[in-house]
Structure 1
Amino acid sequence: MVRFKNRWLLVEFLPVSTSVPGHVARAQEENITSKHIWAALKQSVITHFGDTGWGAVGSSLTIKYFSPRTRLCIIRVARDPHKIAWASVTLMTTIDGRKYIPHVVHVSGTIKQAQLAAIRHNREVVARYRARAKTPAGYQDSYEEFLQTSTQEIEALQD
C-alpha cells in the first residue's frame, strides 16, 4: 500500500492598512475565510506557474485550518510540488480584494508538527502583546482564555 506524503504550511496573513503605506493594520473589519484563501492561492499558482503548476498542486491543495481571529492558516499540499505552493503563498498580495502580507511561519511533514508550531506561534504572539503592555508574567487576562481555546481548536485537527 502506498502512502501519500504531504507537507503542511503554517501561514500567518498580516493585513496591510490602506491608509498608511507599509503599515500593518491592527484590526480589519472584514474577515476572510478559508475559501477566500484557497481561491487566492489557486489564482497565485496559475499566475506565477501556469496551468502546469496548478496541475501539480491542485489535486492535493487543501486548507485544513484557518482562524479569522489570529489569521493563522494550515495548508496541506503534496510533498513533491510543495515548493510551488510555498512560492505561491509567498507571492500572494491580495485575498478577496484586500491586501495581506503572507508570512510562512513553519513547514513540516506531519500535521502534528504544524499544530505544535501553531500553538508555539500563538504563545509567542501573546507574549509579545503582554511585553508591549508591560504586564507581569503571572497576570491573568483574556489572553489565557484565548490560548486555551485556540490550542483546543488546533489540537482537534485530524489528517
Structure 2
Amino acid sequence: MVAFKNRYMVMEIFLDPNRDLAAEDPIIVTQFNVSKAIKDSLLENFGECGLASSLGSFQVKYVNPITKLCIIRASREEYQKVWSAITMIRSIGNCPVLFNLLDLSGNIKACKNAALQCDELKFEQYKLVMGDRLTGDVSQHMQNCLEKIKTLEH
C-alpha cells in the first residue's frame, strides 16, 4: 500500500491597512473565504484542468480570524501550483490581501508546531496593541483556536 503524500503550508494573511474601514464591512477571514479565493486563483491562472488536478487533496485545514494565520494542505505533486496560485491572490472579497508563507512541511505534526508557535506570538503582539480594549470573548476565541490547532489530523 502506498501512502498519499501531502504538503502543509502555514500562511500568514496581511490585510490592506489603507482600506477605508468606514465605507466597507470589515472582512472576516474564514476557511470558506480563503478556500474560495485560492480556488478562484487556481481557475484563473491554471484553468479548469489545473484546478481539477489540485483539488484532490486541497483543503484549508485551519484559519484564525484574529491572527490571520492559516494552514493549507495540498498534494505533494500539486503544492507548487497551489502555492503559486496563493501568491497571485490580490483580494478576498473586496479587501486587498497578501499571503506570506511561514512554513512548508511534509507532515501535519511539524506544521502544527510551527503554527502554534506563530499564533501564540502573534496573539501576544495583538494583546499589546489592543491593551485595555481586549475583551474576554476575544481571549476565549483565541484559546479555542489554539485548541483547534492541537487537535488537527490528516
TM class by smaller structure = 0.7 to 0.9
Match of 1:32 among 21, 29, 32: 29
Q: TM-score, normalised by structure 2?
A: 0.80
C-alpha distance in 2 between matches for 1:129 and 1:95: 22
Where does structure 2 lack aligned partners over 5 or more consecutive residues?
131-135
C-alpha distance in 2 between matches for 1:151 and 1:110: 18
Q: How does 1:1-159 map to 2 (within 5 A)?
A: 1-16=1-16, 17-19=18-20, 29-126=26-123, 128=125, 148-159=143-154
Indicate the residue corresponding to 1:25 in structure 2: none
Where does structure 1 lack aligned partners over 5 or more consecutive residues?
20-27, 134-141
C-alpha distance in 2 between matches for 1:122 and 1:36: 20
Indicate if the aligned counterparts of 2:27 and 2:93 stay in contact, CA closer than 8 A: no
Q: TM-score, normalised by structure 1?
A: 0.77
C-alpha distance in 1 between matches for 2:66 and 2:28: 9
**Count of residues in correspondence between the two structures:** 146
Indicate if the aligned counterparts of 1:123 and 1:147 stay in contact, CA closer than 8 A: no
Indicate the residue corresponding to 1:24 in structure 2: none
- C-alpha displacement of 1:32: 2.7
AA partner of residue 76 (structure 2)? R
CA RMSD, Structure 1 to Structure 2 (Å): 2.7
- CA 1:126–1:154 in 2, change beyond 3 Å: closer, same or farther? same
